[in-house]
Amino acid sequence: MKTNTVLVAGAGGFIAGHLVARLKQNKNLKIRAVDKKPLSEWYQIFPDVENLVLNLESKENCYAAANGCGEIFNLAADMGGMGFIENNKALCMLSVLINTHLLMAARTIGVERYFYASSACVYNGEKQTDPDNPGLKESDAYPALAEDGYGWEKLFSERMCRHFREDFGITTRVARFHNVYGPHGTFEGGREKAPAALCRKVIMAQKTGAKEIEIWGDGKQTRSFMYIDDCIDGILKIMYSDIKEPINLGSSEMVSIDTLADMIEKIAGVKLKHVHDLKAPKGVRGRNSENTLIKKYLKWEPAYPLKDGLAKTYAWIREQLKDRKG
């Protein structure tokens, strides 16, 4: 790079916080971490990093954040689990301003590499109606029928990255994340995803003596879940690869939500009744990452065992809740 300063947008969040921790291992880098949340609400904060509180929906803030940077990792978005994105479509769509303004700033400033965190929510919903989903190939994003709100924003922003690469020469890389989980993430409040939510529910059931937990949907809907360490490995591999098109970044170890709950209960040493809320947000019936393309390009795929990642996540959430009575 012409400059060793790297911008991590959304650094107060779960995935980007782990990314900053990894980038810090390269002592030659100067890291600028930016998030709109107050510093007290960042999931991880590092005193030897330039930490800025800026709302990157603003064009002026994007130019200020990107100034002097050689590379940008854009993981900033207003998002959460299915309960959040199904009920906050407009807020999710507004994240388009972040990617648009950061790309404009990148072009003006002369940023050399730009990473965009997309999502499996870009995939055509009609290809996700079977719990025995064989895996979503990158081509399955078209014809477009993305998750309403959040998925359409991600799909549009992918196209922005493509056209800024083709028209202005910015090296853009796009990864479609599939359900990332692990320690130092959201586990309550409405934005949490299934692994963290179920860990919390099992822990609180043990604390209160409850014999059951609530599960959204019928429990037969399927997903794959990628441990955070695999996610960070993948981000860096994709960022510095020659992969021009959007590519899946996810585990191919697919499980039902009921099975996910069973795995967490086994870690906790308890067996609970599953009470299914059929009216709750539940998303598509089946979603899995098809990893042929990433294995072809990188000779690698996310492979951290789900049971091991859940054990670490469960232990971390249990520690956060250790003083919680009910």
C-beta pairs of 267-273 under 8 Å, 24+ apart in sequence: 267/307, 267/310, 267/311, 267/314, 268/202, 268/203, 268/206, 268/314, 270/202, 270/205, 270/206, 272/202, 272/205, 272/210, 272/211, 272/212, 272/213, 273/211, 273/212, 273/213
Q: How far apart are CA 276 and CA 254, in angstroms?
A: 20
Cβ atoms 138, 151 nearer than 8 A? no
Residue type, 80: G
Q: How far apart are CA 68 and CA 111, in angstroms?
A: 8
Catalytic residues: 150
Rg (CA), the chain: 19
Cβ atoms 64, 88 nearer than 8 A? no
